[in-house]
Structure 1
Amino acid sequence: METKAASRNFVADWPTLLQVWRHDLGGITIGQVALAGLILALALAARRLVGRILLTILRRWTIGDKTPAGENILAALAAPLRFVPILIALFVITAFLDLPAGAKDVLADITRSLVAATFFWALFTIVDPAFSLLHGDRSIFNEAMVGWAVRVSRIVLLSLGAAVVLEIWGIHVGPILAGLGLVGVAVALGAQDLFKNLIAGIFIIGEQRFQTRDWIRVDGVVEGTVETIGLRTTKVRRFDMAPVFVPNSKLADNALTNFSQMTSRRISWTIGLEYSATVDQLRDVRDGIEALIRNNPDFAAPPDAPLFVRIADFGGSSIDLMLYCFTRSTDWGEWLRIREALVLEIKALVEKVGTGFAFPSQSIYVESWPAGEEAYPLPRDASAAGAPQKPVTAPAKPTPGASVAEG
Structure 2
Amino acid sequence: MIERTIIFELAIATAAALGATAAVLALRRAGLRALRTLADRTEGKVDDLALEAFRVPSLLWGLALGLYIGVAMVGSLPPRIVELINDGVAVLLVVSVTLAVGRFLAAATRTYADRLGVEVGVTGLTTGLVKGVVYVCGALILLNTLGISITPILTALGVGGIAVALALQGSLANLFAGIHLLVEKPLRVGDYVKLESGQEGYVTDIGWRTTRIRMLHNNMVIVPNAKLADTILTNYHLPEKRMSVLIPINVSYACDPGKIEAILVEEASSAIGHVPGLLAEPAPFVRFIPGFGESSLDFTLIVQVNEFVDQYLVQHELRKRIFTRFQKEGIEIPFPQRVVHVHPAAEGGSSAR
User: TM-score, normalized by length of structure 2?
Assistant: 0.82
Which residue type is aligned with residue 137 of structure 1?
R
Distance 2:140 2:98 in 1: 11
1:3-402 correspondence to structure 2 within 5 Å: 24-25=2-3, 28-30=6-8, 32-55=9-32, 65-95=42-72, 96-137=74-115, 140-141=118-119, 144-145=121-122, 147-220=124-197, 222-239=199-216, 241-261=218-238, 262-275=240-253, 277-279=254-256, 282-297=257-272, 299-300=278-279, 304=282, 307-310=285-288, 313-318=291-296, 320-330=297-307, 332=309, 334-368=310-344
Which residue type is aligned with residue 341 of structure 1?
E
Which residue type is aligned with residue 363 of structure 1?
V
Q: CA deviation at 1:99?
A: 2.6
Q: CA deviation at 1:84?
A: 3.2
Gap runs ≥5 in structure 2: 349-353
The 3 A distance-change label for structure 1 pair 82 and 50 is: farther
Corresponding residue number in structure 2 for 1:402: none
The 3 A distance-change label for structure 1 pair 244 and 347 is: closer
Higher relative contact order (CA 8 A, sep 6+): 2
Distance 1:158 1:105 in 2: 25
What's the C-alpha RMSD, in Å, of the aligned pairs? 3.3
Q: CA deviation at 1:183?
A: 1.6
The 3 A distance-change label for structure 1 pair 243 and 149 is: closer
2:106–2:131 contact (8 Å) kept in structure 1: no
User: TM-score, normalized by length of structure 1?
Assistant: 0.72
Corresponding residue number in structure 2 for 1:20: none
1:47–1:84 contact (8 Å) kept in structure 2: no
1:72–1:129 contact (8 Å) kept in structure 2: yes
Distance 2:43 2:345 in 1: 96
The 3 A distance-change label for structure 1 pair 60 and 271 is: closer
Distance 1:241 1:350 in 2: 37
Identical amino acids, percent of aligned pairs: 25
Q: CA deviation at 1:292?
A: 1.8
Distance 2:101 2:148 in 1: 23
The 3 A distance-change label for structure 1 pair 26 and 152 is: farther
